[in-house]
A = this chain, B = another copy of it.
Amino acid sequence: MLYFPFHPMLDRAMPIRSLAFTAALFLSSPALAADAPATPSAIVAQAPAGAWRPIAPDALLVMTVEGGKRVVIQLAPDFAPAHVANIRALARAGWWDGESVYRVQDNYVAQWGDATEKKALPPGIAANIVPDYVRPLATLKGAAVPLPYPDAYAPRTGFIDGWPVAMDETSAWLPHCYAMVGVARNLSPDAGTGAELYAVIGQAPRQLDRNIALVGRVIEGIGLLASLPRGSGDLGFYAAGERRLPILSVRLASDLPEAQRPRYQAMDVGSRSFADYLRLRANRKDDFYERPAGGVDLCNAPVPVRQAP
């Protein structure tokens, strides 16, 4: 007797090494194999190569922390061009090397950069970026794939070019979902430089949408950031005597030797596989679920991302 809060094969994206197992499970069942896969995980496991889009190496930020552990962030240049330009320049200058994760607030954010707040920025870093949290739909690549369920924060939600988006009639903005990465800032109208970054590690703090710049998402290693000890200082800053996590280096994948580059793909949000995935995220109908929800929150339907096979 093994107790789960859900059936093992039927929830969340499986870790990569389990995908083959998941596929085998379904293929081994003639009744199931004849139908479309019945779970989001199975959809992801069986998505054809054409349902995946490579992530450009200069949109992958590789942060190596103590012990050689790796956090990989996908940048969103189309949504935050000025901040992403700064972040690329900071990575190329090695600015974060030797810095730290210095703040972890439970159910909120892990934040990193220069804890002393005194380290000079390299030349060429824009220091007074005009807030540009909202992007005209016409400037973004590809059509919006709507998520047809109500949202407490925005008139519409959906997906564009591999990203979750909140939208109104003419524009789109990135939402503060789990693992999204943003630019810490002081009071407005300062929009921050991108030197101090945070990742969401709890319930989506969507009240921050359109108030602070989001620049990407953690696609590898969010569990490492989310499991750091919480800081006991105000707002989760590490207090004296609490140990900050050392950052060894931060580099763009495109600046790493070919053999060391992580290679990732995101699911094409215009693909049939993604449509099936969304439908099943909103309507679980396998053995475990007696009562499908009939809907899913934007932040509870993360775009599948995988290492290139």
Contact = CB atoms under 8 A, between A and B. Distances in A.
Interface stretch (A7-15, A88-96, A265-273): A7-15
A207 B153 contact: no
Contact of A207 (B18, B111, B229, B284): B284
Best-buried of A105, A149, A223 by chain B (most CB within 10 Å)? A223
Contacts of A111: 5
A227 B106 contact: yes
Best-buried of A11, A182, A195, A228 by chain B (most CB within 10 Å)? A11
Interface string A201-222: 0111111111110000000001
Interface in A139-187: 149-153, 177-179, 182-187
A59 B284 CA distance: 33
Q: Is the interface of A mostly helix, strand, loop or mixed?
A: loop
A29 interface: no
Interface of A: 1-8, 11-12, 14-15, 18, 104-109, 111, 113, 117, 131, 149-153, 177-179, 182-189, 192, 195-196, 198, 202-212, 222-223, 226-230, 234-235, 281, 284, 287-300
21 contacts: A2-B117, A5-B198, A8-B234, A15-B234, A107-B179, A151-B152, A152-B295, A152-B297, A152-B298, A153-B294, A153-B295, A153-B297, A178-B202, A202-B203, A202-B226, A203-B299, A206-B293, A207-B292, A223-B230, A227-B229, A227-B230
Ranked 9 nearest A-B pairs via Cβ: A150-B150, A106-B223, A149-B152, A152-B295, A3-B184, A3-B196, A223-B230, A178-B203, A210-B291
